[in-house]
Structure 1
Amino acid sequence: MTWLPPAVAPIVLLLISNVFMTFAWYGHLKFTDRPLWMVVLASWGIAFVEYCFAVPANRWGHTVYSAAELKTMQEVITLSVFALFSVLYLGERITLNHIVGFALICSGAFFVFRGPLPS
């Protein structure tokens, strides 16, 4: 992804990988009539595609971000993608407790990216 700035490429790749991973982990919930072995294999295949985006995101991202920053970024992206997925694909509602929990996780991410606090 040399056409994207080094700080942006991992974000884009993590977004793409999280869309695939969310479908791998939760997409089968709409197909409860399928045998478990079948959805496990389908999910595994989708997860392979996810890894094809996540591994380069972390490899290239580590030239710009620390491992802790990459993991934090991935978690915030995961929650964002999952929130949209659960509403748009699964038809579930986001409740106030979800919003509060997400806000607390985002505030934790703020401190990871802020850098060391003064002693």
Structure 2
Amino acid sequence: MTFAWYGHLKDLKAAPLWIAIVVSWAIAFFEYCFQVPANRIGVTYFSLPQLKVLQEIITMLVFAGFSVAYMKVPLTRNYFFAAMLLAGAAYLIFSEKPR
């Protein structure tokens, strides 16, 4: 989803908005084809809040790599602090005892 949502800011900058929308949705469609089954499988192992926190952590890791490697955004200490907050969220949600 990261590439579908943000890749057009670099690759399709001169293209009309409607082309960026169509290309982004085409990319997102294929990602959804993997995400929906992954959620159905994941919910058998994790609670819904755990699944969401895990998804957010993966999304932020992918976004950090994408923004640094592809979009050439400099890595700052805020990435580290954000990672620590996500680790805290993971600790809190995964330490909860199931009912």
TM-score by length of 2: 0.91
Kindly indicate whether residue 58 of structure 2 is the aligned counterpart of residue 77 of structure 1: yes
Kindly indicate whether residue 88 of structure 2 is the aligned counterpart of residue 104 of structure 1: no
Long gaps (5+) in structure 1:
1-20
Kindly indicate whether residue 5 of structure 2 is the aligned counterpart of residue 25 of structure 1: yes
Long gaps (5+) in structure 2:
none
Q: Counterpart of 2:73 in structure 1: which amino acid?
A: E
- Supply the distance in 1 between the matched residues of 2:66 and 2:76 (Cα, whole angstroms): 14
Secondary structure of the structure 2 residue equivalent to 1:112: helix
Shift of 1:109: 1.4
Q: Counterpart of 1:79 in structure 2: which amino acid?
A: M
Aligned to 1:113: 94
TM-score by length of 1: 0.77
2:23 aligned to 21, 42, 53, which one? Answer: 42
- Write out per-residue CA displacement over residues 47-86 of structure 1, whole angstroms, 9 at most, x where no aligned residue: 1011111101100111111111110000000000000000
Q: Post-superposition, which runs of at least 4 consecutive aligned residues in structure 1 deviate over 4 A?
A: none
1:57 aligned to 18, 27, 38, which one? Answer: 38
Shift of 1:103: 1.1
- Supply the distance in 2 between the matched residues of 1:67 and 1:54 (Cα, whole angstroms): 14
